[in-house]
Structure 1
Amino acid sequence: MKQIVIEIEDDAYEPFMGMLRICPAAKVVGTNSYAETRDVIDRCFAEAIRELQADKKVYKRPSDLAYIMIGVNDGAINGVDYYLTPDDFTGYLSQIGIERLPKRSTIYNKVNDTVGKFPDWSFVHDVKPKEKIRRKNLFLRFSSAFGRAKRQKLDGFMDK
């Protein structure tokens, strides 16, 4: 494997990154402007979900992933895409290697049941106070794991 350093004008950056995306053998490992590449965000997102799935006290079932979609769509994490539909979200999760995904109807039900913006979520169907806390903590834990993964990746790049 070879690593190269390329200097690119700002206006050529996006077209160049688009060309790189069509070559699966090439991977961007970092940039010096701290710009988060799609690849870094995807890897951090996947790592955060896997970390969450390993914690059985917080992550109970695949439908819990719906709360990640809801929190992301609330704008609670900067730099992460908005998902228009559950199909967009599960397609993205599948693309980054997440297994055991919820069904589209399950996500729709969770979205319709959740009212307000994170962290002020309430739920249409009455749930026990412990369950309300668990759902909010689920997203907090994901957000924390995502941020930690990003810092580790950026620190690793800056050390090179």
Structure 2
Amino acid sequence: MKQIVIEIEDEAYEPFMGMLRLCPAVKVVGTSMVVETRDVIDRCVALAIKKLREDRVFKHPGDYTYIMRGANEGVIKGMGFFYYPSEFLAYLREIGIDKLPGRNTLYDGITRTFGKFPEWTFSDHPSADEVMRRKNVLKRFLSAYTKIKLNVSDAFSDY
């Protein structure tokens, strides 16, 4: 028996696994790099949200909307896509974030936010300062997330 390690791009993973299913003599032993990567991303997301809480960036419960929008627009690499606010809230709870708003609060935020970041517009017609504050929630998250991710990457490269 032989074991091999293969690096596969994300978009090729499912087709490759489909091919493996055609050969019953091949067994997938593990996909540890994907698990480690997901774990690192989740940890960085949790730490970034905690940093924003410490810095009192969240002024309204609906501010989590802008992080969900950023993830769904691909602005936050690797975080994934959330079809419903309830999925996003479940994800945040899963990674250890508590004291979250209700799903209707996020749903309301999503339905009043239009366009793609950073050109978001809002149907509730907020002041220019409020528009900037809402966009800055995602900018601050991205800044914290990137710094934390770099520190985690540096820690792994020390080994």
User: Shorter chain as normaliser: what TM range?
Assistant: 0.7 to 0.9
Return structure 1 stretches of 4+ with deviation > 4 angstroms. none
Query: How far off its partner does 1:75 sit?
Result: 1.4
* Residue in structure 2 matched with residue 10 of structure 1 by the alignment: 7
* TM-score, length basis structure 1: 0.79
* TM-score, length basis structure 2: 0.79
Query: How far off its partner does 1:136 sit?
Result: 0.4
Per-residue CA deviations over 1:67-96 (Å, capped at 9, x if unaligned) read 100111111122220111101100000000
Query: How far off its partner does 1:62 sit?
Result: 2.8
Distance 1:116 1:138 in 2: 16
Query: How far off its partner does 1:97 sit?
Result: 0.5
Larger radius of gyration: 2
What is the 5 A alignment of 1:3-152?
8-10=5-7, 15=28, 16-17=30-31, 28=36, 37-56=37-56, 58-152=57-151
Give the counterpart letter for 1:141 in structure 2.
Answer: R
Give unmatched runs, 5+ long, in structure 1. 1-6, 22-27, 29-36
Please give the root-mean-square deviation of Cα atoms over the aligned residues, in Å: 2.2
Give unmatched runs, 5+ long, in structure 2. 18-27
Query: How far off its partner does 1:17 sit?
Result: 2.7
Query: How far off its partner does 1:152 sit?
Result: 0.4
SS of the counterpart of 2:31?
A: helix
Give the counterpart letter for 1:158 in structure 2.
Answer: S
User: How many aligned residue pairs are there?
Assistant: 138
